[in-house]
Each structure stands twice: as structure tokens, then as C-alpha cells.
């Protein structure tokens, strides 16, 4: 690949592969529905895979002592922190709201939309997303670039 287009192409390939893996995992769990193609949460973490792929590319291309790597690493840490912490917090709130809706009288219950409860990621989902992303990015980088 000419220029630095691989900074866009490789992370996109990685997230597509991660989404395919996520679908396969859900099929084996018997939980697949077409909505899963764009769902939040699940194994492995797509958000983590995307940012880890970009950070890995920068490390491979410029080295870990480069300012681009440091900036990318900080953004990666923030996204991972949100995937595990903030989005799990949102999941807990969704569960509480859904319980409140279910406690409403039947004539009022239908007025409120049941919230998606699985929004966040577990630490394991994030870790697997990061590991698979690093491996895929490394392989793609050296296959296409070096």
C-alpha cells in the first residue's frame, strides 16, 4: 500500500474480522439476531480492537517513543475505560429502568420502551479484543507493508 492509507484500511479490516468473530460467538451461544451486527457489547470488544489496532500500527511504524504513539495510547486507554466502566454503568441503569417499567401498572407499562441492557463490556471481552487486534494488526502490517 502506498502512502499511509493502511492507517485506515488495517483497523477497518480488524474491526470487520472482530465483528465476524462476535457473530460466530453469538451463533454458538444460540443468541444471534441480525441486530447483533451493530450491537454494543459482546465478545470480543470491537471498540477496543479498533483503537488498539491504530495504536499498534503507530508503534510498529514509528516506535513506542513517538508522540503519535503516546497520543494514541491515551485515547485507547480512555476508550477501554469507557467500554468497561461507563458503559457497564449504563447497563446497570438500563436494568434498573426496565425493572421500574415492569413494576408499572399494565396500562402504563406499554408507554415506555424497554432499554437495551447489554451495553458495556467485561474485562475479558476487552482483553480478548485487544489481543486479537494486536495479532491481526501485526500480521496485516507485515503482510501488506513490510
Cell of 57: 500500527
Q: What is the pLDDT of residues 61-108, one digit of tens each?
A: 999 999 999 999 999 999 988 888 777 777 787 888 888 888 878 777
Domain boundaries, the chain: 6-88+123-144
Share of the chain above pLDDT 70, in %: 88
**pTM for the model:** 0.79
Confidence of residue 1 (pLDDT cuts 50, 70, 90): very low
DSSP codes of every residue in 3-46: TTTHHHHHHHHHHHHHHHHHHHHHHHHT---GGGGG-SS-SSPH
Amino acid at each position: 500500500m502506498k502512502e499511509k492509507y493502511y492507517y485506515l484500511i488495517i483497523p477497518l479490516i480488524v474491526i470487520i474480522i472482530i465483528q465476524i468473530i462476535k457473530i460466530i460467538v453469538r451463533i454458538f451461544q444460540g443468541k444471534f439476531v441480525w441486530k447483533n451486527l451493530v450491537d454494543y457489547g459482546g465478545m470480543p470488544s470491537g471498540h477496543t480492537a479498533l483503537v488498539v489496532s491504530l495504536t499498534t500500527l503507530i508503534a510498529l511504524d514509528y516506535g513506542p517513543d513517538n508522540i503519535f504513539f503516546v497520543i494514541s495510547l491515551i485515547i485507547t486507554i480512555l476508550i477501554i475505560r469507557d467500554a468497561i466502566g461507563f458503559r457497564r454503568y449504563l447497563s446497570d441503569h438500563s436494568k434498573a429502568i426496565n425493572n421500574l417499567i415492569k413494576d408499572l401498572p399494565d396500562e402504563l407499562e406499554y408507554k415506555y420502551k424497554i432499554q437495551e441492557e447489554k451495553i458495556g463490556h467485561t474485562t475479558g471481552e476487552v482483553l480478548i479484543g485487544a489481543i486479537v487486534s494486536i495479532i491481526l494488526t501485526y500480521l496485516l502490517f507485515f503482510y501488506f507493508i513490510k
